[in-house]
């Protein structure tokens, strides 16, 4: 349990997950660093899904909360998408590390409508679990070094609690030192 969240196995509560997240948990790799039943979910008030409000209401520190942001980059008319997982105490270096990692001329946060339609998840609840299989998942090394983190569940009315190292072991995950910068 983290903060005041009442967690339970995410596989047992598909009603608290976006469909792509539930589908990804159903085919969770057995060779992963954790078993699928160690991915936990907790219901929350959807009006408190935004990071600062969520942390304040549920007693979770910003250092235990990870944000998943969808980035779009383009080069030569081709758009590439990626997810960036960073702790809430940091911000992704979109125009530096992310742009170079994607090998694009320009990178920016994906428009909300694109992020929602391409992931099948709700804005403000997007998670790295269940993203399109061809998207890279860029994970800041600080996330992987955190024993347990809270991330979105694909919907705004719940959150997932998961071991930080498990996020770095997701399919297509790349752990990057310096992906994010501390927020001052």
Q: What is the DSSP string of 153-179?
A: -SSTTEEEEEEHHHHHTSTTEEEETTS
Quick check: is 103 in a domain? yes
Locate 84 and state its tokens. 């960036």
Quick check: is 167 in a domain? yes
Quick check: is 48 in a domain? yes
Provide the number of structural domains found in the chain.
Answer: 1
pLDDT at 103: 94
Give tens-digit pLDDT for 133-154: 999 999 999 999 999 999 999 9
Quick check: is 164 in a domain? yes
Counting runs of H as helices and runs of E as strands, what totals does the chain give?
Answer: 6, 11
Q: CATH number of the domain that 134 lies in?
A: 3.90.960.10
Quick check: is 118 in a domain? yes
pTM of the model: 0.95
Quick check: is 93 in a domain? yes
Phi, psi (degrees; rounded to nearest 5) at 91? -130, 140
Give tens-digit pLDDT for 68-110: 999 999 988 899 999 999 999 999 999 999 999 999 999 999 9
Domain of residue 116 covers 8-182
**Ranges assigned E (strand) in the chain:** 8-9, 40-43, 66-75, 78-87, 90-92, 106-109, 137-140, 148-152, 158-163, 173-176, 180-182
Band the pLDDT of 1: cuts 50, 70, 90.
low
**Mean pLDDT throughout 158-171?**
95
Quick check: is 3 in a domain? no
Q: What percent of the chain has pLDDT over 90?
A: 91
pLDDT at 151: 98
């Amino acid at each position: 349990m983290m903060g005041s969240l009442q967690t339970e196995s995410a596989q047992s509560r598909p009603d608290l997950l976006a469909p792509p997240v539930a589908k990804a948990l159903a085919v969770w790799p057995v060779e992963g660093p954790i078993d699928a039943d160690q991915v936990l979910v907790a219901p929350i008030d959807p009006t408190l899904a935004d990071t600062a409000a969520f942390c304040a209401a549920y007693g979770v520190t910003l250092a235990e909360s990870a944000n998943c942001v969808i980035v779009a980059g383009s080069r030569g008319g081709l758009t590439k998408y990626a997810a960036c997982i960073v702790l809430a105490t940091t911000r992704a270096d979109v125009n530096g590390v992310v742009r170079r990692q994607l090998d694009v001329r320009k990178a920016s946060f994906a428009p909300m409508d694109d992020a929602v339609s391409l992931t099948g998840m709700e804005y403000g609840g997007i998670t790295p679990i269940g993203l399109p299989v061809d998207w890279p998942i860029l994970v800041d090394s600080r996330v992987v070094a955190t024993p347990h983190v809270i991330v979105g569940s694909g919907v705004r009315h719940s959150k997932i609690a998961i071991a930080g190292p498990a996020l770095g072991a997701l399919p297509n995950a790349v752990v990057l030192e310096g992906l994010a910068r501390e927020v001052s």
